[in-house]
Structures are given as structure tokens and as C-alpha cells.
Amino acid sequence: MSLRVKQKLRDGVIQGLIYLTVLLVSLIFFWLLFDLVHGGAAHLSWEFLTESPTDAGRAGGIASILVSTVLILLVAMVASVPLAWSTAVLLAELVPAESTFGRIVRFSLYVLAGVPSIVFGLFGHAFFSIYLELGFSILSGGLTLACMLLPILTSTAEAGLRAVPDTYRLSAAALGLSRTAALTHLILPAAAPTLAAGLLIGIGRALAETAALLFTSGYVDRMPGSLLDSGRALALHIFDLSMNVPGGDSPAYASSLVLVSLLLCINILSMKLAYGLQRKKIMT
């Protein structure tokens, strides 16, 4: 066999393998989607979204679950976003990249990012629920989620701030602008798409979280009256329906369909943002 033919053959085999894996990956995704739609679409209706669950979730809808989920999410975001973004500003703008302080903070975030969510759940239970006496409550669950989201929010925001060209900082300084002015008028707006993308990733994580909420926000599926009430998150509802409730399969499927649709929307949104950011970079 001539060298040329050999090379052609090798190229062909490798290309074929790559196509095969791509096909496999998309197949898994579509199979999952198909399974969800197949199992849940029949159960899905407007009433399902607007009624509260009865009979342990076998009947009724998921209205109270959705409300609890949104409340937990809100608490988590309100608590974590300001902290995460100010930490990112500190790391990216105020301390030199190689400083010991920056390294320690970055290392802690790294470790925190790798901690399994069930550990966050246990920590949240011990600290927020028991030590701070918040009990099983939306507040306790939201704050636990906030701890879990800190590393991802901080590192995406820091990366976004670092991606802002130094020339903005230098020319702002050369014009006698204060650091605060440069930050608020130039750097934060320029980093806004990445900050938003990071926010969406965080929201996606929080929506999908089960283990961290198990011992913190609890199981109660009633409509929550306040942040100190226990509230069941959507992912937890699915877990409970499929594990503990015989005959809860079709509502579990329908709930999963809702959750996955939400996650899909959020992912598409964050991809759009990231793409917009990239295009803007190419343009400048």
C-alpha cells in the first residue's frame, strides 16, 4: 500500500470514529429527552403547574414546589452574588495576581468547588438549621446553596474581569480617573456578559441541586408562608416521588420535564451570552 493510501485510510477511520462518538452523545441526550417527554407529557398540563400537590404528589400539581424553588433560588442569589462579585473584584482588580493573599483565596475557592454537595448539605444542616436555629427552612436551604455557589460565581466573575483588556485600566488611569470610576464605568460594563453568563450557570446549578437541600430546606410540599417555612425544591420533589412514593412515576416524569426545560432555557441563554461576548471580542 502506498503511503498516500495509508494516510487516507487512517484519516477515514479517525473521522468515522469521531462521527460515531458525536452520534452516541447526541443519541443519549435525545433518548433522555424522548423518555422524559414520553413519560411526562401526558401528565403535563396548565393545572399541573398551577395546583399544589395532594396525596404525596401523586395527584395535583407542583405550584407550591415551584414557589419554594424560586424562593430558595432567590435567597441563594441574594446572599451569594454580592459576596462572590466583590471577591472577584478584589482578586482581579485590587490584589496582584501572584500575591499570597490572592493565592490563598483562590485555593480555598478551588477546594470549595470540589466539595460534594451532600457535604454542603450536612454543613448547612449543622450550621444554619441547628446552630443558627433556622430549622428546616427555605432560608437555611438558600444559604446553604449560596455557600455552594460562591466558588463558581467568583471564578467566572474573576475570569470575566481579567478578560477586560488592560488598556482600559491604563488609559483610564492616564486620564486621572479613580479606580472606582474605571471599575464602575468601564470594567464592570465590559465584563457584564461574563458576569451574566456566570450567574446563569449558578442558577442552573442551584435549580438542579438536591443533596444540599435534603437536610436544610426539607420536604414539606405545602405552599410556603414565609422564608422560615420548610419548602420542597423541584429536584427534591422528583427525588421523593420516584424513591418514596409508589405510583409517583408520571408526576415525577412531568416534574423532570419542567426542570429540564428550565435548565435548557437557562443553558441556551448563557450560551447566547457567551457567543455575544466572543463576537464582541473579535470585533474590538
Partner 1 sequence: MNDDPNAFTLGPLEAGPPCCEPQPVIQVRNLSLRYNTQAALDNVSLDIFKGCITALIGPSGCGKTSFLSAINRMTDLIPGCSIDGRILVDSQNIHHPQCDVQALRRRIGMVFQKPTPFPLSIRRNIALPLNEHGITQKTEVAAITETVLRDVGLWNEVCDRLDVSALSLSGGQQQRLCIARALALNPEILLMDEPCSALDPMASGIVEDLICSLQGRYTIVIVTHNLAQARRIANYAAFFWVRGHAGHLVEFGRCRHIFESPRDELTAAYVNGARG
Closest to 153 in 3D by CA, of 70, 72, 86, 234? 86
Closest to 241 in 3D by CA, of 63, 54, 73? 54
Segment interacting with partner 1 (CB under 8 A) among 68-76, 118-126, 164-172, 217-225: 164-172
What is the C-alpha separation between 248 and 240, in angstroms, rounded?
Answer: 9
* Residue 12 near partner 1 by CB under 8 A: no
* Residue 172 near partner 1 by CB under 8 A: yes
Sign of the C-alpha dihedral computed for residues 225, 240, 143 and 89 taken in this order: negative
Which letter does DSSP use for residue 59 in this model? E
* Residue 169 near partner 1 by CB under 8 A: yes
* Residue 171 near partner 1 by CB under 8 A: yes
* Residue 174 near partner 1 by CB under 8 A: yes
Q: Which of residues 89-108 bind partner 1 (CB under 8 A)?
A: 96-98
Q: Name residue, grid cell 424553588.
A: 69
What is the C-alpha separation between 183 and 180, in angstroms, rounded?
Answer: 5
Q: Minimum Å distance from CB 178 to partner 1?
A: 6
Using CB under 8 A as the binding criterion, the count of chain residues that bind partner 1 stands at 22
Q: Rounded to an integer, what is the distance from CA 91 to the centroid of its chain?
A: 22
Q: Name residue, grid cell 432567590.
A: 74
Of residues 1, 3, 175, 282, which one binds partner 1 by CB under 8 A?
175
Among residues 21 and 180, whose Cβ is nearest to partner 1?
A: 180
* Residue 127 near partner 1 by CB under 8 A: no
* Residue 1 near partner 1 by CB under 8 A: no
Of residues 58, 105, 159, 168, which one binds partner 1 by CB under 8 A?
168
Burial 48-65 (b: 16+ CB within 10 A, else e): beeebbeebbbebbbbbb
Q: Minimum Å distance from CB 173 to partner 1?
A: 6
Segment interacting with partner 1 (CB under 8 A) among 2-10, 17-25, 40-48, 168-176: 168-176
Among residues 176 and 246, whose Cβ is nearest to partner 1?
A: 176
Q: Which of residues 183-242 bind partner 1 (CB under 8 A)?
A: 185-186, 189-190
Q: Minimum Å distance from CB 87 to partner 1?
A: 21
Helices (H), 115-137: 117-124
Longest dimension (CA), the chain: 78
Per DSSP, the three-state class of 54 is strand
Among residues 7 and 178, whose Cβ is nearest to partner 1?
A: 178
Helix (H) or strand (E) holding 160: helix 138-163
Q: Minimum Å distance from CB 201 to partner 1?
A: 24
Contact 120, 147 (CB under 8 A): yes
- The backbone torsions φ and ψ at residue 59, rounded to the nearest 5 degrees and listed phi first, read -115, 175
Q: Minimum Å distance from CB 97 to partner 1?
A: 8
* Residue 178 near partner 1 by CB under 8 A: yes
Which chain residues interact with partner 1 by CB under 8 A? 96-98, 167-178, 181, 185-186, 189-190, 283-284
